[in-house]
């Protein structure tokens, strides 16, 4: 069927989608989510079809194409094209197979990942794959196959170094910006640690969001390699690179449901580690009420799963379970967290003690894993690297190599509007709810508004007097401050007894 193109200047975020008028669709017996092939000259692209009931959207004789399709075929308004029905991707059958609880083989998993990376699945179909992994957990063998497939459908950072260190936290704890302290400590010790990090999914900030306050994080893989070769480390946004790209597409559909299917979580994390040629990996599993992993029993099982997949992939793996019952650090939100990080690295009196201590402990374990410290001595060496200023010097070196924005914590801009939340009674803080604190910080504008968020004054176990500030809110919007106050009345955040 011959049609004319109508370019719709909207990006789908990856999926290849076109829109056909209802009358033309009936003529060809096509339905929503069917596939069609679009041919222009020698170029052909297979896309997902949507149907328009109104001719105002797409008129009869026209095919609406979103930006991804237009770019792929170099289409302009009015270009003559030819369309024909096409079969759905093979992977849809494999996803259905997993939904039925059956096991997938290597070729089936590789086909699913290929279709994800090349935008052959609609967001609905991809969501079903995530749901299948959530309800019908992949076996250990399937998880390893998924890990390898996700890694090899992207670029790999090749480094002529050994060991290559990596570190990961499964998340769920507000604050907890240990990575940005660990990387400069470890690199200052002479180890290589190329760190790719994610942006926030449901938290007020991811490591990439926070590092972006200080330096550029969207850098190509060639520059990333130069930074690592020059400084020994980096902290960049994985989404700006073609490293295990299927992971970022899966995260995109996980976000609305705020779910992490365990098998896909394991594969996602390990694929990223393989893609930067990591040989030694430390994984942090924060556990406890209010965290992503609420029970220590579940954390212990996840620890075993990580150790098992690490062994199968022949990686040196250490997994620790840490206290995730409350936020780590004082700042919650990109700029506030970046300020905390620099205060720790500069040995400032304002540095949060819990963030400092956890970072030193984890850096110490990495130094022992990487052969820079004897067993039991890593923490002492990590502390020395921090206290002598070598870690801060390394951080400024990394920041400059990536593209400096700020290295002075006192010059980091915070939200224009501020308000304190005060204790309604005297007592002792029994709980600081991670989920509530994250929700409040996001309502205030984090992470999109870098200077928005929360600065916490009181933590679990602290005494508090009635009328004493518990935390301060920052936002670029007076309206958001007001809305956050309403949210606090509904969900609280602090339990005082």
Cα-Cα-Cα-Cα torsion 396, 397, 398, 400, nearest 10 degrees, comes to 80
The phi, psi pair for 230, rounded to 5°, reads: -80, -45
**Residue for token pair 């990439």:** 208
Other C-beta atoms closer than 10 Å to the C-beta of 166 total 25
Q: What angle do CA 305, 307, 312 make, to 5 degrees?
A: 95
Local structure of 166: helix, strand or coil: strand
Cα-Cα-Cα-Cα torsion 461, 467, 471, 476, nearest 10 degrees, comes to 170
Cis before 187? omega within 30: no
Beta strand 316-323 with 280-287: parallel, antiparallel or unpaired? parallel
Asked if residues 86 and 46 have their Cβ atoms less than 8 Å apart, the reply is yes
Asked about 260 being catalytic, the answer comes back as: yes
Nearest of 334, 338, 358 to residue 200 by alpha carbon: 334
Could you write out the DSSP letters of every residue in 80-105? EEEEEEEPPPHHHHHHHHHHTTPPP-
CB-neighbour burial class of residue 160 (10 A; exposed 0-12, middle 13-18, buried 19+): exposed
The phi, psi pair for 275, rounded to 5°, reads: -70, -20
Local structure of 12: helix, strand or coil: coil
Nearest of 23, 20, 26 to residue 6 by alpha carbon: 20
CB-neighbour burial class of residue 112 (10 A; exposed 0-12, middle 13-18, buried 19+): buried
Dihedral sign from CA coordinates of 99, 105, 107, 109: positive
Catalytic one of 260, 284, 340, 354? 260
Distance CA 285, CA 415 (A): 31
Helices (H), 370-420: 378-387, 390-402
Distance CA 387, CA 51 (A): 63
Distance CA 96, CA 102 (A): 9
The phi, psi pair for 319, rounded to 5°, reads: -120, 130
Residues marked active site are found at 260
């Amino acid at each position: 069927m011959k049609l004319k193109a109508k370019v719709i200047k909207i990006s789908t975020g990856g999926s290849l989608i076109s829109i056909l008028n209802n009358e033309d669709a009936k003529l060809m017996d096509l339905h929503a989510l069917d596939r069609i092939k679009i041919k222009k000259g020698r170029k052909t692209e297979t896309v997902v079809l949507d149907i328009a009931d109104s001719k105002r959207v797409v008129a009869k004789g026209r095919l609406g194409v979103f930006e991804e399709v237009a770019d792929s075929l170099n289409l302009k308004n009015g270009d003559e094209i030819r369309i024909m029905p096409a079969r759905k991707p093979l992977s849809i059958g494999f996803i259905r197979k997993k939904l039925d609880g059956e096991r997938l083989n290597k070729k089936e998993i590789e086909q699913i990942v290929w279709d994800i990376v090349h935008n052959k699945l609609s967001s609905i179909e991809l969501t079903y794959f995530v749901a299948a992994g959530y309800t019908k957990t992949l076996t250990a063998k399937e998880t390893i196959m998924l890990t390898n497939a996700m890694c090899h459908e992207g670029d790999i950072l090749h480094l002529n170094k050994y060991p290559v260190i990596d570190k990961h936290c499964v998340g769920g704890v507000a604050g907890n910006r240990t990575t940005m302290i660990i990387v400069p400590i470890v690199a200052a010790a002479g180890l290589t640690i190329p760190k790719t990090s994610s942006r926030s999914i449901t938290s007020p900030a991811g490591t990439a969001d926070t590092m972006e306050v200080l330096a550029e994080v969207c850098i190509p893989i060639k520059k990333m390699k130069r930074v690592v070769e020059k400084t020994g480390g980096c902290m960049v946004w994985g989404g700006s690179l073609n490293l295990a790209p299927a992971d970022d597409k899966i995260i995109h559909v996980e976000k609305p449901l705020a779910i992490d299917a365990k098998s896909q979580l394991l594969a996602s994390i390990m694929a990223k580690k393989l893609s930067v040629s990591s040989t030694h990996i430390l994984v942090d599993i924060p556990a406890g009420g209010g965290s992503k992993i609420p029970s220590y029993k579940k954390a212990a099982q996840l620890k075993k799963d990580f150790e098992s997949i690490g062994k199968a992939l022949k990686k040196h793996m250490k997994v620790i379970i840490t206290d995730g019952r409350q936020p780590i650090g004082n700042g919650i939100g990109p700029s506030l967290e970046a300020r905390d990080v620099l205060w720790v690295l500069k040995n400032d009196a304002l540095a949060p003690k819990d963030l400092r201590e956890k970072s030193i402990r984890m850096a110490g374990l990495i130094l022992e894993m990487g052969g820079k410290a004897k067993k039991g001595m890593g923490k002492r060496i990590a502390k020395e690297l921090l206290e002598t200023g070598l870690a801060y010097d390394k951080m400024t070196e990394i920041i400059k190599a990536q593209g400096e924005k700020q290295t002075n914590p006192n010059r980091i801009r915070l939200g224009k509007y501020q308000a304190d939340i005060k204790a309604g009674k005297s007592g002792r803080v029994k709980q600081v709810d991670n989920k509530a604190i994250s929700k409040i910080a996001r309502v205030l504008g984090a992470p999109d508004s870098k200077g928005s968020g929360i600065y916490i004054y009181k933590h679990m176990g602290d005494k508090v007097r009635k009328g004493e500030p518990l935390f301060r809110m920052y936002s670029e919007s007076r309206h958001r401050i007001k809305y956050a106050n309403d949210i606090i009345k509904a969900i609280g955040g602090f339990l005082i007894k």
